[in-house]
Structure 1
Amino acid sequence: MGFWGHFPIKILGFAILAIGTAFQLVGATIPASSIAAEGVVDDNLCSLHEAIAEANSPGTHSGGTGLRDECMPGSAGADIIMLTTGGLYNLTQIDHIYFGGNGLPPIESVISIYGRGATIRRDPSYITCDGTYPDFRFFEVKGASTHLTLDWLTLTNGCTETSYRGGAIFVTEGAQLTVGASTISANYASASGGGIAVWNGDTITIRSSTITDNFSNDQGGGIYIRSGNLVVNSSTISDNTSWYNGGGGICLWGGDGLVPVNRITLNNSTVAGNTADSGPGGGIYSRSDGSTSSVVTLNNSTVTNNWAPTGGGIYNMRAASWVYARNSIVVNQRWAQDCYNSGGTLQSYGYNIESATSCGFTAEGDQQNVDPVGLRPLGNYGGPTNTCALELGS
């Protein structure tokens, strides 16, 4: 169930009212039909392309004749785009070019896309990402006043070629992104960030979501962050792959000095089964860069079954890089150490478990050299995403 699913909802005109609560959401609700023709077409249906354009610039596709009357009116404030329940939005063409192809119009305002179980995909007949077929990610999110929220939605088969980042989503120029109750899977980036790439973004929040089976030709098979903050709550980063330079699951690569500290915070989350083929950090790779620091914090989280030549679970590099762990499990990587520290700091706040001693978990309640740990394979043991549950009695 997505965020909105926690409230009984009634659509009155163009605003959404949450019955039994004390607030009304400011803005407009714009339904986007999954059977509308792709792009901007005069077919008396509001397509996802037209809905985004209307939310960015009210009046673009409402309040007139022909193409201008196909969508509900947008607003000057935050808008909601409501997708067809369980709908399939199959994209076949590039909408515009910005650091690679994008299948949908740019996000340039505060927009929430409520998927209701819908899927947005690049046509599955496009089986390569080398220019043979149209190559594009889905969302480009840019600008300091821009915030995209995706809820209860799947993004799959996105692709950026020719050294571009972000196979499904690219966030830049101080924008924010929130992904809730969603799946980002089987996307490809020829550079960094197979699923999501952030370059000089603001705060990226992933909650109750799964980032899985994505591939990058450079860093960050699942997620790549360069100058920005990532918060992962009750989510799973699994089975992603980076080819060069590391960070099979997540890569935090310092910044450009726009913010003094770049952060990854994992709360009640799982990083499992990721691979860094030719670089360090199968699960997580963190390094400071230039005048900025990098900080990774694990709270009640699990890092397991990842692979890399060095630092199978976590690789921490350079003096201004810190990894903090509290009540977390870092065990049973498929190759190399649970943790590898190259000039940075690994610090325990207690009650952590590791397979050997590479993470330096020696604070109160820590356990080292625990083998076997008794973790079950990644699977559905209850909760919003797959996890690696402990065996009974562990």
Structure 2
Amino acid sequence: MSRQNLRAKASLLGARRSGPARLIAALGLAATAGLALPGQVAHAGAATVRCSVPDLVEAIKTANSSPGADTIRLARKCTYKLTAPDPDNPANGLPAITSEITIEGHGAKITRDKSAPDFRILFVDEAGKLKLNKSTISGGKATDCPNFPGGGACGGGISSLGTLTVNHSQVIHNTAESDVFAEGGGIETGTFEGAGTATLNDTEISGNTAVYNGEVQSSAAGGGVLNNGPLTVENSRFTNNTVSVTERTNSFAFGSGLAGFARTTVRKTTFAHNQASAPGGFARAALTTGAVPPDAMTVTDSVIANNTASAPGGFAQGGGVASNAVLSVTGSRVVDNHASAPDGGTAVGGGIQIGALGNLELSQTTVQRNTASASGGGSAQGGGINNATGGSVKIDKSKITNNAVRASGGGTARGGGIFNGVGSTSLNDSAVTDNKAGDGGGIFEESGTVTLNSTEVERNHPNNCAPPDAVAGCTG
């Protein structure tokens, strides 16, 4: 089986990557250049770099070769414009980070010149530890995948196999594009084996893109970020990132904001206006996870809003969130997301999509005004939450409200608030209200089990639950 097909299969099943077997499913001591006097060498440990790319390159090389941790201080608000790749590794604009380095950006930007060859901006080797503070990384274009030499494009702005910490920074307008597979338009972290950690704090991940442009089934994943190792995200913003695949290749576009394949912790973070596009294929959510237990994704006090999964003639699976693994969402809002499948496609889970291996615990969270829509005789289900293939959903003290399912041209539209099939869904001290569908405005139970405990299901249109008597305790 080809690497593309392996990725496709693994993505579909939500499997963790393990080398080639998983496919579809960002500075230290300085040298001469950083000082006011040309040719003078800084002492080990810290260097101030003038607004000069050659000076920055030399500072990184010196830091890599010196013992201990080093700090590189960039010129305040300077733009370091890279016009050529690193000669030792032309996939990267700057020398690889191979030691412990802190870059104090002071508002500086490191970017690839538009006329330059394609290369990412930064690469952190397995032994490297990079802390990036108050910096902007932009314009990178990945040409390789360090996890898998010889195929794919990973980490358009930053690729890290080691330890990466990004604070108070921006990773914007970077691209990973390939005819093999593409991952991590802004950042890719960790190794296929799950090593390598990353932390993003008060960081903007915006306008990044992962694009698969090949002609056979494959994938584009993690428009903003894709993590293979443990990732912590706090007080950050993922906006206007995209994933897309070649039309009619039956390919997978998923995780337009963030795709997690290892332990992922998200706190006080916004995912907004991200888009997954897969005409004739599979488009899946702004926030996705396929980590293998005991790894899980935990989302707390966050907002997932106005994201879109679009698959004309294909399968749109989760406008806001999609999980085929263990997912916990607490104190959050999943609002105004859209799963759209015109031209006879299938749209499921406007707000949240749970796969066959998924296990969702939703607590003190609002799922509101999400839509799943299809046209041309296609089908749509689960405007708020879709659990149709055997997953487990537990909802506690949450509101599922004002969600909708629509299907034109003779299609079916079921489960405006919740669609359940095969798997189990339980609701405790919650509310399913004011949702709309063709049938089962509140809840549609195709099969499996839906359990209501101290939960109101009211004011849904055209009915609260369907088929009649399918959900115990639900009337009208």
TM-score greater than 0.5 by the shorter chain: yes
The answer for the alignment partner of 1:136 in structure 2 is 119
The aligned counterpart of 2:327 is 323
Structure 2 counterpart of 1:385: none
Q: Cα offset for 1:97?
A: 5.8
Query: Structure 1 CA distance, aligned partners of 2:44 and 2:77?
Result: 24
1:280 aligned residue: 283
Query: Is the strand fraction higher in 1 or 2?
Result: 2
Taking the aligned partners of 2:95 and 2:237, their CA distance within structure 1 comes to 28
Following superposition, the deviation at residue 181 of structure 1 comes to 0.5
Structure 2 distance, partners of 1:326, 1:346, is 14
Give the C-alpha shift of residue 362 in structure 1.
5.9
SS at match of 1:51: helix
1:206-246 per-position Cα deviation (integer Å, ceiling 9, x unaligned) = 000100000011211001122x0111100001110011321
- Residues 120, 192 of structure 1: alpha-carbon distance in 2 compared, 3 angstrom cutoff: same
**Unpaired segments of 5 or more residues in structure 2?**
1-33, 35-42, 145-151, 212-219, 246-251, 310-315, 341-349, 369-382, 388-392, 405-476
1:212 paired residue number:
206
Q: Distance in 2 between matches of 1:230 and 1:78?
A: 22
Mapping of residues 362-381 of structure 1, within 5 Å: 363-370=395-402
**Structure 1 residue 138: deviation in Å?**
1.1
Pairing partner for 2:258 from 250, 254, 262: 250
- SS for the counterpart of 1:104 is coil
Asked whether the equivalents of residues 137 and 170 of structure 2 are also in contact (C-alpha less than 8 Å), the reply is: yes
SS of match in other structure, 1:101: coil
**Contact kept in structure 2, 1:286 and 1:294, CA below 8 Å:** no
- Post-superposition CA distance 1:280-303 (Å, at most 9, x none): 3321121246xx655111100011
Of 324, 331, 338, the match for 1:334:
338
**Distance across 2 between alignment mates of 1:206 and 1:296:** 15
Unmatched 5+ stretches in structure 1: 1-13, 15-25, 40-46, 59-75, 127-132, 254-261, 373-394
Cα distance, 1:96–1:353 mapped onto 2, change above 3 Å: farther
* Counterpart residue number, 1:223: 225
- Which residue number in structure 2 is paired with residue 353 of structure 1? 366
Q: Supply the distance in 2 between the matched residues of 1:273 and 1:97 (Cα, whole angstroms).
A: 38
Check whether the contact 1:216–1:241 (CA below 8 A) recurs between aligned residues.
yes
Q: Is the 8 A contact 1:212 1:239 kept in 2?
A: yes
Structure 1 match to 2:46: 29
Amino acid at match of 2:289: S
Change (3 A) 1:166 1:346: same
Give the 3 Å change call, closer, same or farther, for CA 219–169 of structure 1 in structure 2. same
Q: Distance in 1 between matches of 2:75 and 2:201?
A: 22
Amino acid at match of 1:54: T
**C-alpha displacement at 1:164, in angstroms?**
2.0
Whether the aligned pair in 1 keeps the contact of 2:338 and 2:351 (CA below 8 Å) is no
1:54 aligns with 2:62: yes
User: Number of aligned pairs?
Assistant: 297
Over 3 Å off, 4+ runs: 359-364
- Any idea what the Cα deviations from partners look like across 1:170-222, whole Å, max 9, x if unmatched? 111xx110001000100111121100012414221000010000001121100
Partner of 1:84: 75
Q: TM-score, normalised by structure 2?
A: 0.59
Give the structure 2 partner of residue 153 of structure 1: 135
C-alpha distance in 2 between matches for 1:225 and 1:55: 26
Answer whether contact 2:84 2:93 (CA < 8 A) is retained: yes
SS of 1:53's partner is: helix
- For residues 302 and 281 of structure 1, the distance between their equivalents in structure 2, rounded to whole angstroms, comes to 17
Structure 1 residue 346: Cα displacement: 3.7
The residue identity in structure 2 corresponding to 1:166 is G
- 1:270 partnered with 2:260: no
What is the alpha-carbon distance in structure 1 between the residues aligned to residue 50 and residue 362 of structure 2?
50
Q: What amino acid is aligned across from residue 280 of structure 1 in structure 2? A: A
How far apart are the structure 2 equivalents of 1:161 and 1:210? 23
Q: CA deviation at 1:96?
A: 3.9
Match of 1:165 in 2: 154
Identity, % of aligned pairs? 29
- Distance in 2 (CA, whole Å) between partners of 1:101 and 1:202 is 20
Whole-Å Cα distance in 2 between the matches of residues 166 and 109 of structure 1? 20
TM-score normalised by L of structure 1:
0.71
Q: Rg bigger for which structure?
A: 2
C-alpha distance in 2, partners of 1:155/1:113? 12
Distance change >3 Å, CA 277–CA 284, structure 1 → 2: same
8 Å Cα contact 2:76/2:107 also seen in 1: yes
- Mapped to 2, the partners of 1:330 and 1:294 lie a distance apart of 23
Aligned-pair Cα RMSD in Å: 2.3
1:388 alignment partner in structure 2: none
- Distance in 1 (CA, whole Å) between partners of 2:402 and 2:197 is 36
Alignment check: 8 A CA contact 2:190 2:230 kept: no
1:232 corresponding residue in structure 2: 233
Cα offset for 1:370? 4.3
Match of 1:391 in 2: none
Aligned position for 2:168: 181
Separation of aligned partners in 2, 1:324 and 1:199: 22
Whether the 8 Å contact between 1:353 and 1:370 is mirrored in structure 2 is: no
Residues 242 and 275 of structure 2 are in contact (CA less than 8 Å); yes or no, is this contact kept in structure 1?
yes
